[in-house]
Amino acid sequence: MRRRSPRRFLGVLAAVTVAFTLFSSASTAGATQTATTTAASTPRAADAAAQPLSTSTPVVFVHGYTGNASNWATAMSVFQLNGWSSSKLFAYEYNSYGNNVTNAQGLASFVNNVKSRTGAGKVAIVNHSMGGLVSQYYLKVLGGNTSVSHLASIAGANHGTTFAGACLVYTTCQQMYPGSSFISQITAGDETPGDTKYATWYSACDGVILPYTSTRLNGATNNNVVCQTHIGYLADTIVLGQIARFIAS
C-alpha cells in the first residue's frame, strides 16, 4: 500500500481540526448578521410584525454537534422580544458522541416533561445542525409530530453532510454522513409527517452542511438565506426573528 506523504497527512489533520472547530458551539456572540431572502410563501418582516402573534406555544431548542444550551442565548432573547415568556423557552441537551436514536428518545421525554410543566398540548421545536437529525427521528420515527406544532430547522443536517467524514469515530457522525441507514430512515417517504408546520433555513455560505441543500425538507417552507455561516446563524437576529414569527403564525 502506498505511503501517504507527510504533507498530505498534515492536510488531513488540518481538515479534521477545521471540522471540529466549525461544528463546535464556541463563541457565537461575534457572528455577523446577514441579510436574508426567504421563500415566496414567507411573509415580509413588516407584514409579519403587523400581524397578531401567538406566543403561548412552548419552544424547545435542540443544539447541534458538540453544542449545548448556551447556543440559544441570542435566540431566546429574540423570542422574548417577540412576546414569549422565559418560562416557555427550553433548551434540550444531549450526548453529541453517543447515538442519535437515544438522543431522539431523550427529546421525546423532554417534550413530554415540557408539556406537563406548561400544560400545553404541543410544543414548537427549533433545531440547528445535527439537531435536525435528532428532531426528525423524534417526529417521524417516534411519532413526535403529534406533539409538535412547528418545526424550524436551521442549517439542519437533515439529509446528512460529508463534513461528518471528519469525525466518523463517533456513532452520531456515522449517522450524519449522507447515505447512512439513519438518514435513509428519516428521509424515506414523507419527510414532513403529520399536521406539524415545517420550515428550514439554509445557505450556500454554510460551509459545514455539504451539500448545503441537505437542509431542505420536501413539504416544508424552505428559506434560502443569501449568505450565512453555519455557526453565524446562532447570532443572526434577522433569521431568528423570522423563525419566531413562523412559530407564532
Catalytic residues: 129, 206, 230
CA 54 to chain centre: 22
Neighbouring-strand partners of residue 59: 89, 124
248 Cβ partners below 8 Å, 6+ apart?
53, 54, 55, 57, 82, 83
Contact 133, 100 (CB under 8 A): yes
Give rounded-to-5 percent helix, strand, coil for the chain.
45, 15, 40
Q: Which of 177, 138, 137 is nearest to 160 (CA)?
A: 177
Please name the helix (run of DSSP H) or strand (run of DSSP E) that holds residue 123, with its range, or none: strand 123-128
d(CA 30, CA 45): 24
